[in-house]
Copies of this chain bind each other. A is one copy, B any other.
């Protein structure tokens, strides 16, 4: 089929859906995007979503491919490392990559979404439909039925390729879930989060260009900077603990005890109000396989692999999906059934790997970063990375700042652990041998 005759339907106009639409329309496909919510360029506030995100290497590569990387980065705040707020006031900054000073960028979700939609609309072969809720998926015939929220009417749509970028609670995936042999799991962790904010005039007094972390072992708070000097602060904690803090006094006492330096930044009144009025959002991890059904339906982004947010890779992985899809369409000459099969084949293990890594990183961020063992390992990793930049890439750097596959990142770390273990064992054996040798030598001399 001629590229111009191919119709691609994308469900979901969030970050991944709109970037995917941009890729598809750039390939020359007739592209239709359907989104349940209002156009974010009309209504500014999307409830229950994180306000800013850490944009790192994988997302940058995808944005670069569609030619808007620079434009986006110009409106992001670079973060060169973690700034750790310890309880004993001995704060510590840890750069991600002391060698190259490589950064991730804190970007507003809404801004990014709007920019992507703007870019999409610059192309002639694309239609955007907001306020359209997907209510039925006919996988066999590639038909989708949408409810037009404003008129109450339903419309039927069909396409040669249907892409579900409709998030963690994807309706497209729910249809695929009925197909035999589709493996699926959704796992909620016991922890949830609430977001608070630091106003610009106070925010500008904070050590800029870092992601700030208050690790407290069983819970943690983080802050990401915004362009206007305000900061978005997120508290992650067990849902039980959230329930316990059911009065202003308890909340204030809790903050004074565990995040004393933050009380001034957040403002006593504001933090109590934010805390009491906000219901903590749950955190879910979703794994499935495969990512396609038949030869015409694919899920990408959170629909395919929602993860807990602790590696900041949700959007990055979703954007990498778009990049992979685009390159497969190129390699296999738009042969959709083959492309979808290959997509699942290549992406499945990586998606599961980043879900696991994200789960692991919560422990690292809220607990391990304060431990001497972590700090020593980071020093060793940084040194070896400096000496052998192509051979010894630390885990965080491989996940966030490189293009290594996520499974590759895990295997690479396992290999490093093994090497270090062998070095330690070797050293111990060598030292023991020297001691024993010296001892006998000394005895012989005495004799």
Contacts and interface: CB of A to CB of B under 8 A. Distances in A.
Contacts of A439: none
A177 interface: yes
Nearest to A185: B185
A182 B178 contact: no
A277 interface: no
A437 interface: no
A49 to B, nearest CB: 15
Contacts of A183: 185-188
A42 to B, nearest CB: 27
Most buried by B among A183, A282, A284: A183
Contacts of A440: none
A185 B174 CA distance: 13
Nearest to A186: B184
Contacts of A180: 188, 282, 284
Nearest to A239: B181
A169 interface: yes
Contacts of A284: 180
Nearest to A188: B181
Contact of A181 (B181, B184, B282): B282
A67 B284 CA distance: 45
A184 B182 contact: no
Interface string A325-339: 000000000000000
A178 B183 CA distance: 17
Most buried by B among A177, A181, A239: A181
B188 A185 contact: no
Interface in A159-203: 169, 174, 177-178, 180-188
A176 B137 CA distance: 20
Contacts of A186: 177, 182-185
A282 to B, nearest CB: 5
A140 B202 CA distance: 44
Of all A-B residue pairs in the complex, the 4 with the closest CB atoms, nearest first, are A185-B185, A180-B282, A181-B188, A184-B186
Contact of A184 (B169, B185, B282): B185
A137 to B, nearest CB: 14
A186 B179 CA distance: 12
Contacts of A174: 174
Contacts of A178: 169
Nearest to A180: B282
A80 B282 CA distance: 50
Interface string A376-401: 00000000000000000000000000
A284 B180 CA distance: 9
A304 to B, nearest CB: 16
